[in-house]
Structure 1
């Protein structure tokens, strides 16, 4: 895929998704961090249902830590792997209080040292909360990257690096959310909605079975 086609793809995605951002509900960087930790192998919708109740009662490291394991689990038990996640969240809160004065750090090294935080979660926080041009590769981005040929790779790190190296600079900050929303609602795992896709004529997915839609006027 050449640079001109990549540019056109991101221009169209930006036009189709004018306000690309996370669908995890939060009112602070700390709330976002907890929501992202809880979202592993879970849906944003399911996490939001749980955190709406949790954050009304506890939305700081100290107040969540005060809940204890049983107290925290009572709020997140509808989320998959809730017991392990509760342990990680409590440990993370303890680390934030002891090492960072209760604040979420803004460096990859410090974030990845927190319990429950891996590279993908760190990328989400760095991008969404701190505006850094990182790209967190989840199942949606892995699928979209390989399917469209925007960023092919055998593992998430390969796909991440190829996205970082090939995405037009003007779109690096928003690329993560543009791609995840496109993957979540249009370029779905099963039965992708190629007939409704704004980049169908540019996408290099070899299993497209329909005629690409016409490009938006002026693009």
Structure 2
């Protein structure tokens, strides 16, 4: 999962970033309004965590701009401002959840997981697609009932492909999803091919259908025949 954390309290920012990176996620950070606005304009995210009170602007304006962009990112407002009017306004703008400070990181984690389940997988605690079964809480994958050991990147790839099944996904989108802003530093995306190749090999070795199609010069399509 790729998360954008918009938070100017540096100690809290560091704590949240470290926690979710240890969970295996990509976490990009922005400490002020201008940097956050730039990131939202340039990159796609699965989830955006945004404080209301920011240097140079208001987080609620970022929520509004994110929704105007037609972004598919889930949005959770995290704020010390716990007034009912702020909650209602933020949710009316399009935020998916509102978590007042202080909070436990485990609660934030649970809310993000619930948000992603609702957004991408109809709220299901497990993801089932034909012979593929995934338990996101455990990051476990089963093919035809057999546990398949995937690397962290392979797991994230599979989940991303399933969330975008029957759509052409560009190599650039995959690179951003797996490596965040660091993807801009790569001269080419050959490394994406290696991760996809390894994922496909493990799926086929466990008698999974060959869903992965290469769209030459563009990217990949996880094609499910209906």
Normalising by structure 1, what TM-score?
A: 0.35
State the structure with bigger RCO (CA 8 A, min sep 6), 1 or 2.
1
Higher strand share: 2
Higher helix share: 1
